[in-house]
Amino acid sequence: MVDPGRCNLRVHPSPVKDPCARPHRGYVWDSPSYGTSCYLSKANGPTVGKSEFDIPLNLYEPAFRHANAHGVLVAFRIPDAPSPVPTEVISRLHPEEAERARTLQGYRQVQFVGGRLAARAARKTVGAPPGPLLSDERGAPVPPKGWACSISHKNDVAIAMFSRARLGAIGVDIEAYGPKRMRIANRVLRPEELAAVAPLPEDRRWIDTLIRFSIKESIYKALAPELKRYIGFHEASVRPHLNGTADVQLFLEPAAGPYEVDARFEFLHQKVLTSVRVRRA
């Protein structure tokens, strides 16, 4: 597990177009625009000259463990294909989780199993009690009493974060940089966010939009279990900062809260990771 105090924040004099172009000993990835870096622990030890996801790892095994201000996170490698999950992998789940996994097919089965394996590793790391991690009516994981949990997956990785519930609700999301999809901007950004993105250099507009989108996904995961409803993209306004934090203003309809939202973002190989902690103000 990584000591959160080892995370470095730095600003490059100009945007780094390829965040994977300069891997370092010590597991560092540079952001494409914001200059944030974070040390990650590798499952197979250091490999100079390669980034985390260039390292051949077995499927359904840990890719990395990480810690930030919101909790402890574990990532598992999963296939980027709807292949049936091997029986021996499903058998590693809690019996109730395994029963649920056998009812799923394709990507849903792959993502469910990967997410639960990651969650099991994360809860063990933080000392949460063992047991099944089932889902509520909206598909969100239901953690043991006294704990908060969030799960996300993208392409070849599934991640899970655990934290103490008394510290607030948490949400985590992981998104791939490409392909660029600026057409989503009008759907996921509020007018003031569109105005902030428009004057940015062309190579920064998409990554800035993606960070805002991903943080809103994390906010939904943190708030939906309490509000018990869908939370739209226009119910939050996000302003990322160069140091890997972001200001968030909520516009919940109907009104709820008030809430305080602490939002963070970091960069992995070709992916952006966001997390939030939400508490009542």
CATH number, position 199: 3.90.470.20
Chain segment 114-150, per-residue pLDDT in tens: 999 999 999 999 999 999 999 999 899 999 999 999 9
Q: Enumerate the β-bridge partners of residue 71.
A: 68
Q: What percent of the chain has pLDDT over 90?
A: 74
- Is position 47 within any domain? no
- Is position 213 within any domain? yes
pLDDT at 248 exceeding the cut of 70 = yes
Residue-averaged pLDDT of the chain: 83
Query: Distance between CA atoms of 253 and 235, rounded to whole angstroms?
Result: 7
Task: Write down the pLDDT at residue 80.
Answer: 95
Mean pLDDT of 209-223: 98
Chain segment 39-91, per-residue pLDDT in tens: 333 333 333 333 344 444 799 999 999 999 999 999 999 999 999 999 999 99
pLDDT at 173 exceeding the cut of 50 = yes
pLDDT at 272 exceeding the cut of 60 = yes
pTM of the model: 0.82
Burial of 227 (0-12, 13-18, 19+ CB in 10 A): middle
The band of 178, judged by pLDDT with boundaries at 50, 70 and 90, is confident
For the chain, how many structural domains are there in total?
Answer: 1
- Is position 4 within any domain? no
The band of 33, judged by pLDDT with boundaries at 50, 70 and 90, is very low
DSSP 235: G
Task: Write down the pLDDT at residue 270.
Answer: 82
Beta-strand runs (E) in 155-244: 157-164, 169-176, 236-240
Counts for the chain of helices (H) and strands (E), in that order: 6, 12
Q: What percent of the chain has pLDDT over 70?
A: 80
Task: Write down the pLDDT at residue 268.
Answer: 80
Query: Distance between CA atoms of 176 and 174, rounded to whole angstroms?
Result: 7
- Token pair 């943190």 is at which residue? 222
- Is position 190 within any domain? yes
Domain that holds residue 252: 174-280
- Is position 9 within any domain? no
- Is position 82 within any domain? no
- Is position 238 within any domain? yes
For residue 60, CA distances in Å to 84, 91, 113, 240 come to 12, 12, 8, 33
Task: Write down the pLDDT at residue 34.
Answer: 45
- Is position 89 within any domain? no
